[in-house]
Amino acid sequence: MRDDASTAPSAPNIVQSDVTIIGDLRCLREPGWEIAQQVRVQAAAGYTTTLVHVPAHDAGAWHLINPEIQECVRQGLATPVDPATAIINTDILVIRQPHAILRGLERDYAAPIPRILARSTLAVADKDSVELDGPALEARDRLLQNLFGPIKWTASSVGALARIRDATSALDCDQEPWPAAIECREPNGIRVGRSHYVAGRICTTETADWPADLGAMQRAYPINTEAQFRVLGLPKLSALPITDPPANWDLFRAGDISWQKFIRSLDFFIYYPGEDPRDIPVTAIQWAIAHGIVVMLPPNLEPAVGPGPLYLPPESVLEEAQHLHEDRALYLATAQRARMRSQAIGQADLLVARLGELIAHAPRKPEPRKPTTNKRALFMSSNGVGIGHLTRLLAIARRMPTGIEPIFATMSQATSVVEQCGYPVEYIPSQTQTHSDNAAWNRWLRQQLDQLLDFYGISLIVFDGNHAYSGLIKAAAERSDCQLVWVRRGMWRPGQRHEPFIGRQKFFDLILEPEDIASSRDLGATTVHRGRALTTPPIRCQDQDEILPREEAAAKIGLDPKLPAVLLQLGSGTNRDIVSLVDHIVASCSRFPKLQVVVAEWLMSFNSFSYWPSLKRVRGFPLTRYYAAFDFTVTAAGYNSFNEVISLGLPPIFSPNTHESMDDQAARAAFATEHGAGLFWAKGDRESLDPLLDAMMDPNVRETLRTNALRIAKPNGADDAVRAINDLLAEAQQ
């Protein structure tokens, strides 16, 4: 053996801790949730916590640490240790899932057990443990004592502790169950963007956790109704009475989303299992009650759960949910009454008192968090062929109240726009820019976003784009302390295959759909999901009072304000031939010697307009501030350009981009023509443009178009979007 650094044993890592919790930290069921809640209560009381992960079985696909526990570590509430090198001195050792850990120690893949010196050791029994007979429990007790010294047994409920005592008198059992660590909050009743109630439940993957026949399921759960139903941990549908997911159901695999975030998304927690459920999610139920969610359970579960829930026969559930949804005051009174009766009330105080009995020293004063004057929100846009996604985000960000600091992350190369507005911006190359595999790029995106969220301390993500990337979803969904908003404009082209991305709407805490002035022509995929979104008026970056007067705007561009002027804004040219379009427009405009022609150079364009020396060019953001310098525009009919020229009364000739990747610009142009608010240059050739340009040079035609445009215009919805986002943050912070 070589005597060098590569073979020398590493020095032991000596850790001092008030409480050490050992268990399978991947657990996505009750024990994992209870660990996270205990860590939070201990940290708030001033006790330090060390976490030791011991796998109870082969990881397989189940390889990630429980998201709630990950969040505790990120927030500095607990410290994980390497069991191979750590020596832990602790006042209390808490063994979670003792039976599963011992089963894992018998396998080859088991992680090493660290050396732990504890003043007191508690084994908190889980369901597997309490189902063992007396001799088996005694054998487990001897094995644990060989590893950790004298042990006192307890459980997380009175019933479980009683079953241990009934099985054997040889174990040293605590007199009281281990207190549930659930912090409570006052129900506030805020529900953002919901026209119908949202119900849901958490369950295991066991089929016994569900009713055995379709009739029983239909009585207890909303199936193909207007109400939304969400399930975290659904088993294979082939094993249930329903073989296809109902249209109003959102299904989540265990670990897809933080269970706290999942529960906070509900109005009602409805749990009606089969005859012999494997695990009743008592912790989740009590947490829901403590946080103002109305819980509905069958009467036979009252002995296991205790007071607080509404115990109803299954045939009364849906009617009662609708009644409470329609009477918000009654809902709040019901939630508050349940909260005051719940067994979770005071459990956190009981846990702190229990810790005080077992820990030799007084709790340390918790270190105050670094004071922050602002919360930080990440505004993230996809790439696109223009800057429409980015523009809407800027419209919202510039109206956010003081106390919320916008940070931008964009796949658009127009990062200078964000910098000019005074916001920090991070550039994220899109999959197209990186020429990478989709799955690999999304894994990389998730890592990048994890770093950004941690570095900036982000508590809100506002995403604008059509494709809700899986990397974004995975970075945000597991964080209960980070809200996720989707700004999703409509007018998607009929036939575009967006179903996989629409399906990801279930992960968003709020969906904002900025309305389109031409929304009556919308036949796209978002129309059937509009009940899931909060609709706002069209979102624009600028209001009318921010537009420069004609003389000032003309002077900045170098125009004569007394002569007519036209603005050409045809897009970036990345997916259509705007050079030919500009050539036709310039040729047609040359018939009017006094007409000043200005072309907008797109911030993401690779086209050069030097072919036309007589053309003036304008480049900047936002272009709307210069609109008063122009008498009319020849423009594409994208979301921003269409809603801006109509709302601000700039007479348009629309030249829609009909590329298959674009939204339904032709429908917008047709709508404007139908209402006499614009002209439609459909063919894109010189011959069809000449008569349109002739008409636009008539001041009476322009005034008619302007009048009709302002008649169908809608107010700016950016302020409405900000209010909805603020309500969401207020709901999450209660």
Per the CB < 8 A criterion, the answer to whether 219 and 245 are in contact is no
Q: Rounded mean pLDDT of 629-656?
A: 95
Local structure of 541: helix, strand or coil: coil
Query: In terms of pLDDT, which residue wins out, 555 or 276?
Result: 555
What's the average model confidence in pLDDT over 409-419?
Answer: 89
CA distance 672 to 653: 10
Q: Which residues contact 215 (CB under 8 A, 6 or more apart)?
A: none
Residue 198, SS3?
strand
How high is the pLDDT of residue 6? 47
Global pTM? 0.88
Higher pLDDT: 216 or 716? It is 716
CA pair distance 546, 549, nearest whole angstrom: 9
DSSP string across 345-371: TTHHHHHHHHHHHH-SSPPPPPPPPPP
Q: Within 13 A of 370's CA, how many CA atoms are on the CB side?
A: 6
Is a pLDDT exceeding 60 seen at residue 8?
Answer: no
Q: Which of 130, 199, 139 is nearest to 166 (CA)?
A: 130
- Per residue in 595-606, is it b (16+ CB within 10 Å) or e — as a string? bbbbbbebbbbe
CA-wise closest residue to 588 among 697, 686, 688: 686
> Which of 53-67, 485-499, 570-584 ranks highest by mean pLDDT?
485-499
Condensed to tens digits (0 to 9), the pLDDT of residues 185-242 reads: 665 555 555 678 999 999 876 777 888 888 888 999 999 888 999 999 877 777 788 8
Q: Are 399 and 719 in contact (CB under 8 A)?
A: yes
Burial class from Cβ neighbours inside 10 Å (0-12, 13-18, 19+) for residue 56 reads buried
Q: Whose CA is closest to 366, among 40, 68, 22, 50?
A: 40
d(CA 476, CA 377): 12
Residue 318 amino acid letter? L
342-367 tens-digit pLDDT: 877 778 888 899 999 888 888 877 66
**Where do the H-state alpha helices sit in 155-280?**
158-167, 214-220, 259-264
> In this model, does residue 371 exceed pLDDT 60?
no
DSSP 648: T
Q: What b/e readout covers 284-294, taking b as 16+ CB neighbours within 10 angstroms?
A: bbbbbbbbbbb
**Helical H segments across 198-346, by residue range:** 214-220, 259-264, 282-290, 302-305, 317-326, 328-341
On whether the CB atoms of residues 79 and 73 are closer than 8 A, the answer is yes
Q: How far apart are CA 305 and CA 281, in angstroms?
A: 9
* Beta-carbon contacts of residue 238 (< 8 Å; ≥ 6 apart): none
Which of 730, 588, 579, 569 is CA-nearest to residue 665?
569
CA neighbor of 230 nearest in space, from 200, 209, 259: 200
Q: Which residues contact 340 (CB under 8 A, 6 or more apart)?
A: none
* Interatomic CA distance for residues 236 and 431, integer angstroms: 33
Cα-Cα-Cα-Cα dihedral sign, residues 474, 475, 481, 483? negative
| Whether the predicted pLDDT of 108 surpasses 60 | no
Residue appearing with tokens 């000019």 = 420
In the prediction, which pLDDT does 99 show? 77
| Residues 281-331 pLDDT 10s | 888 898 999 888 999 999 999 988 889 999 999 999 999 999 999 998 899
* Structure-derived torsion over alpha carbons of residues 530, 531, 534, 539, reported in degrees to the nearest 10: 10
> What structural domains does the chain harbor?
13-167 (3.40.50), 198-342 (3.40.50.2000), 375-539+719-727 (3.40.50.2000), 544-712 (3.40.50.2000)
Query: E strand or H helix at 83, and its extent?
Result: none
Give yes or no for a contact between 169 and 135, defined as CB atoms under 8 angstroms apart.
Answer: no
